[in-house]
Structure 1
Amino acid sequence: MRIREGTPNDAPAVLALFDEAVRWLVARGQTGQWGTEPFSAVQARVARAAEWAAGGGLRLACEDEQVVGAIVIGARPDHVSPADRAERYVEALVTSRAHAGRDIGGELLHRAIKETRTAGIPLLRVDCWAGAPSLVAWYERQGFHRSGTFTVRGWHGQVLSMDLP
């Protein structure tokens, strides 16, 4: 597996990963995370994927030429309280469920940590659906700690932080 920078041409691959994840979540009855509609069927999500792909913070995990994971490293979303120091924020992280168990998400997070540390930025934050305790625990196993919560249109989010010395 290799990790490469994304380009504007990668938006369809990002949407495909999210569509696959939504199908998997729906099959498990976890519709509270991202709903039941494919990302590619919601114009706002299609536009957001295009922004991510063109914004410079998209990193893709690839096996051969197949995209098996994506992370977007960028700025804190408006619905999350500001940090007390400079930070980078994981805006999105998604991996192929067909490749589950291979630590693709962990590798992508390690890339984000390395880039943030190399840039001299002391804090990396991420959020996820608070209704998935196993997901929150996964981020904690990666070295993040719980640092806040938020609610947006009934969606409860858990903010997690990692201090980078």
Structure 2
Amino acid sequence: MTASPVPAGPQHVDAIHALRRSLEDRMAAAGVVQWPQGSMPRERVEAQVADGQWWVVPDPEIEVAGTVRLLWSDPEYWGDDPTPAAYVHGLMVDRRRAGSGLGGDLLAWAAARGRDAGATLLRLDCRESNPALRRYYEGQGFRAVGRRDLGSHANTLLERPVGARRSTDR
């Protein structure tokens, strides 16, 4: 599958929020601590969509197959770092599209957007309490470069050059 994200609009807010909530519930049921249940209010998604941060992969059967939130700075997690980088948050794939390669495609798309904008790195983070997600990101070519202690939890900071290819590419 090759992702063709489009900018999220007001019509996507409910679908993005519902996807996030469904993944929060699924992770909680599995004992995975990444996104606590109810940690992303709809109003925050709405404001981020209005700010142009969210991109979606439309799907005629399920409305939104996947999402990614792309930022050009991330002081909350990465501090005041002047390195030209693109930052990924909110990478989500509807479970009905899991295993299709959509997550990796969205990361490759984000890296290409970053490269086109002059970034040299694609950066993201995950909770240290979620080693499976870290392994996934490492399989996508990311390497751990730091840690951010947020008081209630700590996150691993990961990055890859925007030109890097994931391990599944040949």
Q: What is the TM-score when the length of structure 2 is the normalising length?
A: 0.84
Structure 1 match to 2:166: none
CA gap 1:6/1:37 in 2 versus in 1, 3 angstroms? closer
Aligned with residue 107 of structure 1, among 102, 105, 108: 105
Match of 1:58 in 2: 54
Residues 1:8 and 2:6 aligned together? no
Deviations 1:92-151 (A, max 9, x none): 211112321112211111110110011121122111111111110111111111111112
Counterpart for residue 38 of structure 2? 37
The amino acid of 1:73's aligned partner reads L
Aligned equivalent of 1:162? 160
Quote the sequence identity (%). 27
The 5 Å alignment of 1:58-77 reads 58-64=54-60, 66-74=63-71, 75-77=73-75
8 Å contact from structure 1 (residues 20, 97) kept in 2: no
Count of aligned residue pairs for this structure pair: 159
2:42 to 36, 43, 46: 46
Q: 2:26 aligns with which of 24, 28, 42?
A: 24
| CA distance 1:79–1:164, shift in 2 (3 Å) | closer
Separation in structure 2 between the aligned mates of residue 17 and residue 2 of structure 1, nearest angstrom: 18
Counterpart CA distance in 1 for 2:96 and 2:28 is: 15
Distance 1:59 1:36 in 2: 22
- Unpaired segments ≥5 residues, structure 1: 40-44
Compared CA separation, residues 38 and 73, structure 1 to 2 (3 A):
closer
In structure 1, distance between residues paired with 2:115 and 2:14: 30
For structure 2, list consecutive stretches of 5 or more residues without a partner in the other structure: 164-170
**2:83 maps to what in 1?**
85
What is the deviation of 1:17? 0.7
- Which AA in structure 2 matches 1:33? Q
Q: Does 1:135 align with 2:137?
A: no
* Aligned AA (1:58): W
- Check conservation: 1:17, 1:68, Cα contact below 8 A: no
Q: Which residue of 1 aligns with 2:167?
A: none
Offset from partner CA, 1:10-57 (integer Å, 9 cap, x none): 211110110110121122122x22223374xxxxx2222112211223
TM-score (ref. length: structure 1): 0.86
